[in-house]
Amino acid sequence: MTLMAGGHPVFVSLKPSPTQDGELDSSSNWRLDPTELASKFTSRTKALVLNTPNNPLGKVCCQLSPQHLSRSLSRHPPHITAQTVCRTQVLSFWPGVLFLSPLPLRRSQQRPVALGGMFRKAGASLTRCLHHSLTMSKRLPARRLDGLEYNPWVEFIDLSKEYETVNLGQGFPNFPPPDFAVEAFQQAVSGDFMLNQYTMAFGYPPLTKILASFFGKLLGQELDPLENVLVTVGAYGALFTAFQALVDEGDEVIIIEPFFDCYEPMTLMAGGRPVFVSLKPSPTQDGELDSSSNWRLDPTELASKFTSRTKALVLNTPNNPLGKVFSKAELELVARLCQQHDVLCIADEVYQWLVYDGLQHISIASLPGMWARTLTIGSAGKTFSATGWKVGWVLGPDHIMRHLRTVHQNSIFHCPTQSQVAVAKSFEREQLHMGQPSSYFVQLPKAMQRNRDHMTHSLQSVGLKPVLSQGSYFLIADISDFKSKMPDLPGAAEEPYDRRFVKWMIKNKPRLPDHRAEWTHGLPPPQGLVAIPVSIFYSVPHQKDFDHYIRFCFVKDEATLQAMDKKLQKWKAELGP
């Protein structure tokens, strides 16, 4: 239970005093050594568990007098600190009994160890049926997973399923891929049966070939399908492969906030240290629509983040969640710093086709001197609106790609064949239509720009302040007016406001405890819209500063946007004039 609460159990034993020959031992002979007990109290001690009469010894604790205890406690007043998070693992103990342990304990370094003798005697089966858990004296999870268990998506995805909602949260289209892609996939699964078997480890040859020729032109590079292209399980898999291949214990990775949330745990899992730098909004004139292009990096601040330990910088353009498309000048700044400090650039460009208002997506790898140090990551899911196919790729120079291939061959080895076949076919089709009105890469952004405008307008009508998105699937909206109007939404004290706001939006008719009846200030129940709180795209220290934005996905079909409108109009009517 201590462990489940994230605590660190500290053990001290009751020790039997020697008995005279033949004399019956008594539980009262089992005592605590006061000095030893005192030594267990530290500034991080939060509580002591006392069990009297004691199970299993039967001792009645008269020796541990209140004074005795309070002396120890007053000398080391326990205080609350987030740092008491326990990084150890002990399983199998009688709930609540262990702390005054009647048996000597095995110990190893900071690792409390499950009760030796008692449970050995009781046998593994007893422990099992009691706790359904593993009696393992060794630490169970690998250290590389420390602090990575929490994933913000799980919570919000679950919530959105629990309630009747219009889901504008997760970034996937709810309309089908284009006909040519669907047909390509149908052909791949019903044609040659050998497409049900493994293909080449680093990518289905026709796919690596078309990716090399297609992106070779865009990047101004001649790409070799075998050396410069690696097909991965989605762009997510590409990112993971890149981090594992290049980031070592102690390396620093510069991440621009707000950032797609996986960059941080992926850096940590590789043993690296994320270093954050925020895009900062410039103030807008009253009534003026904020734009993601007003969110900029401070060049001096960015430069200050580069050190001799900096191994890589992650650049995401168009940016998720902000929808910012980095300008050429901004990219040149990043490129200059990367070259100056000899840093690799991991360029996540999965939304490269989704750029609006006539803006141009620029790959940083196409800037002078950058190809040799840049990995460019793309996604068939975002390219052809088929996120479920899980096909992604990395493009880069062979001297970096070879390390990614090593990770790939030791982690998943192959990607599914048929999805790759369909993606290859779809790119072949696109290559023929490149730049023409029939090209999906022309049609999709056009359609999504309409969606963006639609959503921007609708959100404004209820008093949300959207930030104009220049690219990607997303836009963010400022909820600071709501924060000042109704600051006390339900939720944990520590929970950033935007998370509470999103939960409030999702839950259709929350039953309110009486004492919080006023929290809505007379506002009607929320309307069942799912968005994603933007603070999850920030590092913990910066979450406080960015807890008043929420992210909406506008890559949804017409019906979804209409349903959104209905919800918003109802909301507006209930908000009143």
Tell which positions 140-159 bind another protein, by CB under 8 A: 140-145, 148-149, 151, 153-154
| Pick 248 or 488: Cβ nearer another protein | 248
The stretch among 64-72, 189-197, 465-473, 518-526 that binds another protein (CB under 8 A) is 189-197
Partners of 394 in the β-ladder: 230, 377
Task: Give the x-and-dash track for 245-284 against another protein (CB under 8 A).
Answer: xxxxx------------x--xx--xx--------------
| Pick 240 or 546: Cβ nearer another protein | 240
Q: Does 400 participate in binding another protein (rule CB under 8 A)? A: yes
Binding to another protein (CB under 8 A) within 120-139 occurs at 124-125, 128, 132-139
β-pairing, 273-278 vs 252-257, is: parallel
Q: Does 185 participate in binding another protein (rule CB under 8 A)? A: yes
Q: Does 182 participate in binding another protein (rule CB under 8 A)? A: yes
Spatial neighbors of 320 by CB under 8 A, at least 6 apart, are 171, 260, 351, 472, 473, 474, 537
Candidates 26, 63, 406, 438; binder of another protein (CB under 8 A) is 406
Q: What are phi and psi of 316, to 5 degrees?
A: -125, 105
Binding to another protein (CB under 8 A) within 294-323 occurs at 311
Q: What is the DSSP letter of 446?
A: H
Shortest Cβ distance from residue 399 to another protein (Å)? 5
Q: Does 177 participate in binding another protein (rule CB under 8 A)? A: yes
Task: Give the x-and-dash track for 417-456 against another protein (CB under 8 A).
Answer: xxx-------------------------------------
Query: Binding-site residue total for another protein (CB under 8 A)?
Result: 107
Residues belonging to the chain:
577
The stretch among 15-23, 25-33, 203-211, 515-523 that binds another protein (CB under 8 A) is 203-211
Two structure tokens written together for 408: 């790939």
Closest by Cα among 350, 43, 423 to 171: 350
Candidates 20, 300, 360, 410; binder of another protein (CB under 8 A) is 410
Helix (H, G, I), strand (E, B) or coil at 496: coil
The stretch among 27-35, 226-234, 432-440, 532-540 that binds another protein (CB under 8 A) is 226-234
Residues 478, 548 contacting (CB under 8 angstroms): yes
The stretch among 17-25, 390-398, 481-489, 502-510 that binds another protein (CB under 8 A) is 390-398
Whole-number Å distance between alpha carbons of 469 and 474:
7
The sign of the CA dihedral 340, 343, 344, 349 is: negative
Q: How far from 380 is each of 235, 385, 401, 426, CA to CA, in Å?
A: 8, 8, 19, 9
Shortest Cβ distance from residue 515 to another protein (Å)? 35
Candidates 32, 195, 275, 536; binder of another protein (CB under 8 A) is 195
Q: Give 502-509's long-range contacts (Cβ < 8 A, gap of 24+).
A: 502/156, 502/530, 502/531, 502/532, 502/533, 502/550, 503/159, 505/529, 505/530, 505/531, 505/550, 506/156, 506/159, 506/160, 506/163, 506/165, 506/530, 507/159, 507/163, 508/163, 508/164, 508/165
The stretch among 25-33, 52-60, 238-246, 479-487 that binds another protein (CB under 8 A) is 238-246
Binding to another protein (CB under 8 A) within 315-374 occurs at 342-344, 368-369, 371-373
Candidates 173, 318, 321, 466; binder of another protein (CB under 8 A) is 173
Strands (E), 85-200: 100-101, 107-108, 111-112, 166-167
